[in-house]
Structure 1
Amino acid sequence: MACSDGGSGSETGTSKSALNAASCPSVQPDPARSLFVTDAAALEKLPFETVMNRIVATGSTTGQSALSLFQQLMDTMNNQANAKTQGPHCDDVIVDGKPSINGFPIECPRLEGRLATTNPFAPAPDPDGYDPVGIVNRFDLAPQNGANCGQYRIVYTKRSGKTSFSDRVLLIFEATLPNPNPSAGLAACLPVTEFWAGLTTDDDANSRATKLADFYLTGLPGFAPVVKAAHYGFDGGVDTGQIRANLFSAPQGQFPSQWQLREFRLSQQCTSGDCSLVAKNTFVQVNPFGALFGGGDAASTTFQNAFLNQVSSLASTNLNTIGMSSSGADNAGESNEQDTSNDYLAQGQNNATFKDAITAKLAEISRTDLTADDILNRATTQSCAGCHQVSTGRSMGAGLTWPRTLGFVQIDESSRISPALTDTFLPFRAQVLANFINSQCSDAGPSLANNGHVDPKRTIGGGLVGAAN
């Protein structure tokens, strides 16, 4: 995900022979095998209980159970009056009389808080159980300086969502994989990219499934396993992973609150050397609070002035590299998919001074083919709600249109993935993976832009480090 500027080497400055580059595959990755895996054999190797047990085993020494960690995570969406665990809870912090995360108001409680008393490991067909639906390679999110080797994700869905539109929960476990040799830069991550690309040429589904399970649960030689408590948010900051939730769940006979995305990070709570894990509902990264785009108070003015520095990256000519960063202090605690709170064009529409400043910045970078409205629409795509629902089908200006999802989700309970993924994002990520491997395994030259220049603020995929998409 995001990076600190650790390690000065680039992949082009490391000996190819030292990396055993002769073994590199020369292959165009198949997205279905090497980027977004949904085949049943692979999914069956990573059941929810196995992954949760491994997380607890690598982060807790108190006898804590995977069930108790799951229930505590869900209980963060209950207020203290309805608490099922010792906390934290959604009304622990009150700002201006309202429950808040990061100083911004949140919906509290949410109906999903009732799931703090359910068993997510219940076998099929129990509707409260969770099934894996996707295994995701996000090497394209690795920082160019190799501060880490990218993110590797598993998507789980509440089984009830297969039959009930009003009882849907998706949990996305987004682990950041540490670089075991940061001084070598991104080149040290070559074995990870070789592993994923090699799945394309393995025609045995059971073999691919075993390899993926080993990668996630055991780790490649010299690398930590993907599934490890510390990889889901320890230490905070921008160089750690997270757990995200896409929520639209109500008890039978009730209609849910609106679709909403939340973010969680794990931390340790230690006493006398014994530690247990705590899931904290944190702010949503790269998801500025919408009112900052239209407000005239000091905080909004500071945000708007800083936003002007994002215009250049938002003006990208490629949908895949449209990017925005935001200060942690500006990020909201929730991302709503059915109102205008994360529609940054709607939020800033009447802020003529701000829009004039965006127009002036576009003229400064010679992008008069774009308007201030285009930039605000592009900013919306970088929020969780924008990418999942708000931005779909919208014009981004300069001939670009944001691709369509499956309606609020990028993957559903049947492992069906969105047109946005199949037609736009996955082909691009496949090319990023192939270009990096080819640059390491041949004399084709550096894989990074600008003749191999390493930009610690950019990913190998060309986006901004820390982007949520």
Structure 2
Amino acid sequence: MFSKPSSSSSPVRSHVGSAPAGALRRARRAALVSLAMLPVSCADLSPTGGVPADLAEGDTASAAQELSLAFPIEGRKSLVVTNADILSAFTLKDVLQQLIDQAGVSLTPLQLFQQLMDTNRKAADGLGLGPNCDDVVISGSDGSINGWPIDCPRAVGFEADRDPFADETADNAYVATTLSNRFDLAPPDGANCGEYRVIFARRSGMTPGAFQLRNFIIFEARLPNPTPSLGREGCRPIVDFWYGLSDPSKSLATRKDALHDFYFDGLPGFEPVIHIDHYGQNTGPFGGQIRTNEFLFAPEVVGDPPVPFTTWNLREFRLLHSGSGTSATLVATPSFVKDTPAAPLFDPASTDARAVTFQSTSFPSLVERLAAADDINRFAFEPGYPTTMNAGESQMIGLQNNYFATFGSGTSALRTSIQNKLTAMGSTLTPDQIVGRAFSLSCSGCHEPIGDATGSPTVDLDLGTTATLAKASPFVQTTEQLESDPIEGGQRFHIAEALTDVFIPFRKNVMADFLLNNPILGFEKPGAWTSTQALLSVHTGRAVEGISSLQVLTPGSFHAIVSPNFSTAGLTIGNKITVDLFVSPAQPNPSWVGNLEVLISIPSAGINNQWAGNVALTPLTRGSFQTIQFASLSTATKNALSATPAPTDVKLQFNFNVTSDSGPYYLDNVRFEN
């Protein structure tokens, strides 16, 4: 209900110029808490102090309190760990042995390793331990996965004839190079706590110039949330653990032991990372997986006679177990590569039924989600994308996985469909940039981004973003090459520029926002905010902080968006309600968008639906987040919010008075600022 007419409006503070969404807030965080953030342009900062010019004086202090951490997040300790001493506690043999013990099978680590490698050989040449690459032959190929052709055989299959455990220093032995914290992959509903990875590399790749003797095995465990009813909050012990690794008082030896225990034993109440159920036993996008990334074709590897030249290749496996006792089985089973549509699907001339469906329905339905993100880290496909479209492998040399080569540059129904979707949402992106974003999500697109149909190494991948996706080192994001470790001392394994400049800063943001911010006010909890008029959902593409914002669809003219009760404990309380708002550039009535007002209730203080300000939406810049600050709260209301003990029954209500079907709108990062 209204407690004051909505004719007045309050000043609007907008993000500067063409800076990406959230750039100012990232700049503020960098200045205040020494967290490395994504680069911002000079236009985002004031000429003197490195704080956004539009921040009021009191904002600096309140932001510092809101965002203060006991110690900064160190990316190479809490997100991507490559210190050689720490990694020495992890061996491929130990990982395989733990999985075997959990499954209760009568295998050895050598047999499980050989079975995995043997999947790259034809059955006639294999060891008979499990699947082979020619189990399903399709027209035009000697093998397939998920109905799409694959290289069969591949030289890496000869690894099945070798023992990587006989001599830990031999070229064919494997060394752990990376531990990776991917809490940023935990979904908004907290169904799981993200992925936690360990990467092993063939030691032959450590030799300078051994470009053709490389193989990586990546164990990507999806860690269950033991209390999913709590949402992502149930994962807090995991985040606290990784954050604690940045504690400067902790020695390298202490962190080494802690990481080993986390992976092999688990935190109290959590399963260990290395567990037979975490690598694809459960179907769906959140099941986890094992991946290989290999380029083995030199004579030492391929044997005599040599297998013909092959390319960098990435494949995905599910570790499946069943039965018990003498009937127990544990098998690494080839699977499709997630989020990697097969390149022929983009071919306008294709008559394949899958391509027809992909071009008419599947891919057009992904355009809005691909176009919505302003940050490379937030690119994603919509849930429910049909897995039948995923390729059986992803290659990084040649045109096997080059979407631009099959999409072409000419007129096509798919190009027109993509453009129509972009026009409807008011996006300035092009169909080629949307296809490029889809390509960047594929294995090869992430590891070796190319920007045209020829695969030219000199053409960058145009994603329509400020930040670019740098080429890897080469072909991999984490390498087996050692370098001096300036943080820990000793040596560490080198990582790619894309990790240091793009991915790690984003993951720092996600960790800091989770540790410090209120999930209700950050719209991080699906279903928390409600409306009887608007259609609400969390959106992970457009967001200023955390992993999601609230998408608001407005089928009518009035829509009340109501929060659940929340506590102000731990919040910095200023005298104005502030929120970041995205107004869609596609408006049915561009000359009048509408108004947004906010009401506040604190029943324990006798405050019910108190009007707290109104903002006209028509003058706002559309197509990017704008920071809106409403009218000043009364002294009594501010005192009630700041009371000790903190009130637990605070509720906000945002009322959209807008043109029907003028959304979507996006709300994010509600706070109380001066």
Q: TM-score, normalised by structure 1?
A: 0.87
Report the equivalent of 1:366. Answer: 426
Instruction: Say if 1:115 and 1:461 are closer, same or farther in 2 by CA, change over 3 A.
Output: farther
Instruction: Say if 1:398 and 1:390 are closer, same or farther in 2 by CA, change over 3 A.
Output: closer
Report the equivalent of 1:111. Answer: 155
What are the Cα deviations for residues 5-26 of structure 1, in whole angstroms up to 9, with x where unaligned?
Answer: xxxxxxxxxxxxxxxxxxx964
SS at match of 2:278: helix
Deviates more, 1:202-211 or 1:348-357: 348-357
Q: Which has the larger helix fraction?
A: 1
The answer to whether the aligner puts 1:385 opposite 2:444 as a matched pair is: yes
The answer to whether the aligner puts 1:339 opposite 2:398 as a matched pair is: yes
Equivalent AA in structure 2 for residue 308 of structure 1: P
CA shift for structure 1 position 370: 1.2
Report the equivalent of 2:240. Answer: 194
Asked whether the equivalents of residues 320 and 425 of structure 1 are also in contact (C-alpha less than 8 Å), the reply is: yes
SS at match of 2:328: strand
Asked whether the equivalents of residues 28 and 430 of structure 1 are also in contact (C-alpha less than 8 Å), the reply is: no
CA shift for structure 1 position 192: 0.3
Cα distance in 2 between the residues matched to 1:340 and 1:351? 21
Q: Which has the larger strand fraction?
A: 2
Map residues 115-134 of structure 1 onto 2, 5 A cutoff: 115-134=159-178
Instruction: Say if 1:275 and 1:457 are closer, same or farther in 2 by CA, change over 3 A.
Output: farther
When Rg is computed on C-alpha atoms for both structures, the one with the higher figure is: 2
CA shift for structure 1 position 47: 1.4
What are the Cα deviations for residues 290-321 of structure 1, in whole angstroms up to 9, with x where unaligned?
Answer: 00111244321211221112112222211111
Cα distance in 1 between the residues matched to 2:161 and 2:514? 46
Of 293, 308, 311 in structure 1, the residue corresponding to residue 367 of structure 2 is 311
Cα distance in 1 between the residues matched to 2:506 and 2:527? 20
SS at match of 1:93: coil
Asked whether the equivalents of residues 246 and 259 of structure 1 are also in contact (C-alpha less than 8 Å), the reply is: yes
CA shift for structure 1 position 95: 2.2
CA shift for structure 1 position 188: 0.5
Instruction: Say if 1:196 and 1:398 are closer, same or farther in 2 by CA, change over 3 A.
Output: closer
What are the Cα deviations for residues 139-175 of structure 1, in whole angstroms up to 9, with x where unaligned?
Answer: 0000110110000000110001112211100111000
The answer to whether the aligner puts 1:300 opposite 2:346 as a matched pair is: no
What are the Cα deviations for residues 97-118 of structure 1, in whole angstroms up to 9, with x where unaligned?
Answer: 6321111111111111000111
CA shift for structure 1 position 96: 2.6
SS at match of 1:263: strand
CA shift for structure 1 position 271: 6.8
Asked whether the equivalents of residues 376 and 465 of structure 2 are also in contact (C-alpha less than 8 Å), the reply is: no
Task: Tell me how large the CA RMSD over aligned residues is.
Answer: 2.4
Cα distance in 2 between the residues matched to 1:128 and 1:449? 47
Cα distance in 1 between the residues matched to 2:148 and 2:106? 35
Report the equivalent of 1:13. Answer: none
Report the equivalent of 1:17. Answer: none
Instruction: Say if 1:173 and 1:110 are closer, same or farther in 2 by CA, change over 3 A.
Output: same
Cα distance in 1 between the residues matched to 2:528 and 2:467? 28
Of 46, 61, 79 in structure 2, the residue corresponding to residue 35 of structure 1 is 79
Q: TM-score, normalised by structure 2?
A: 0.62
Instruction: Say if 1:169 and 1:62 are closer, same or farther in 2 by CA, change over 3 A.
Output: same
Map residues 197-346 of structure 1 onto 2, 5 A cutoff: 197-202=243-248, 203-252=250-299, 256-270=309-323, 274-294=327-347, 295-304=350-359, 305-315=361-371, 316-325=373-382, 326-346=385-405
Report the equivalent of 1:448. Answer: 524
Asked whether the equivalents of residues 343 and 390 of structure 1 are also in contact (C-alpha less than 8 Å), the reply is: no
Instruction: Say if 1:351 and 1:88 are closer, same or farther in 2 by CA, change over 3 A.
Output: farther
CA shift for structure 1 position 45: 1.3
Deviates more, 1:134-143 or 1:445-454: 445-454
Cα distance in 1 between the residues matched to 2:244 and 2:521? 22
Asked whether the equivalents of residues 527 and 537 of structure 2 are also in contact (C-alpha less than 8 Å), the reply is: no
Asked whether the equivalents of residues 283 and 334 of structure 1 are also in contact (C-alpha less than 8 Å), the reply is: yes
Q: Matched residues, percent identical? A: 37
Asked whether the equivalents of residues 265 and 272 of structure 2 are also in contact (C-alpha less than 8 Å), the reply is: yes
Instruction: Say if 1:256 and 1:409 are closer, same or farther in 2 by CA, change over 3 A.
Output: farther
Instruction: Say if 1:451 and 1:76 are closer, same or farther in 2 by CA, change over 3 A.
Output: closer
What are the Cα deviations for residues 32-52 of structure 1, in whole angstroms up to 9, with x where unaligned?
Answer: 000000112320111111111
Deviates more, 1:285-294 or 1:385-394: 385-394
Asked whether the equivalents of residues 538 and 548 of structure 2 are also in contact (C-alpha less than 8 Å), the reply is: no
Cα distance in 1 between the residues matched to 2:527 and 2:102? 41
Of 12, 23, 48 in structure 1, the residue corresponding to residue 92 of structure 2 is 48
What are the Cα deviations for residues 197-230 of structure 1, in whole angstroms up to 9, with x where unaligned?
Answer: 0100144111111110110011001000000111
Instruction: Say if 1:399 and 1:346 are closer, same or farther in 2 by CA, change over 3 A.
Output: farther
Cα distance in 1 between the residues matched to 2:515 and 2:246? 14
CA shift for structure 1 position 452: 6.1
Report the equivalent of 2:499. Answer: 421
Instruction: Say if 1:445 and 1:121 are closer, same or farther in 2 by CA, change over 3 A.
Output: farther
CA shift for structure 1 position 251: 4.2
Instruction: Say if 1:410 and 1:452 are closer, same or farther in 2 by CA, change over 3 A.
Output: farther
Number of residue equivalences: 436
CA shift for structure 1 position 444: 9.1
Deviates more, 1:230-239 or 1:131-140: 230-239
The answer to whether the aligner puts 1:411 opposite 2:478 as a matched pair is: yes
Cα distance in 2 between the residues matched to 1:448 and 1:122? 49
Report the equivalent of 1:83. Answer: 126
Cα distance in 1 between the residues matched to 2:121 and 2:539? 37
Cα distance in 1 between the residues matched to 2:434 and 2:189? 28
The answer to whether the aligner puts 1:167 opposite 2:210 as a matched pair is: no
Report the equivalent of 1:66. Answer: 109
Of 514, 517, 531 in structure 2, the residue corresponding to residue 439 of structure 1 is 517
Asked whether the equivalents of residues 175 and 201 of structure 2 are also in contact (C-alpha less than 8 Å), the reply is: yes
Cα distance in 1 between the residues matched to 2:144 and 2:155? 17
CA shift for structure 1 position 462: 4.9
Equivalent AA in structure 1 for residue 292 of structure 2: A
What are the Cα deviations for residues 355-398 of structure 1, in whole angstroms up to 9, with x where unaligned?
Answer: 1111111111111x211111111111010000000337322125
Instruction: Say if 1:70 and 1:158 are closer, same or farther in 2 by CA, change over 3 A.
Output: same
Structure 1: runs of 5+ lacking an equivalent: 1-23, 464-469
Asked whether the equivalents of residues 128 and 160 of structure 1 are also in contact (C-alpha less than 8 Å), the reply is: yes
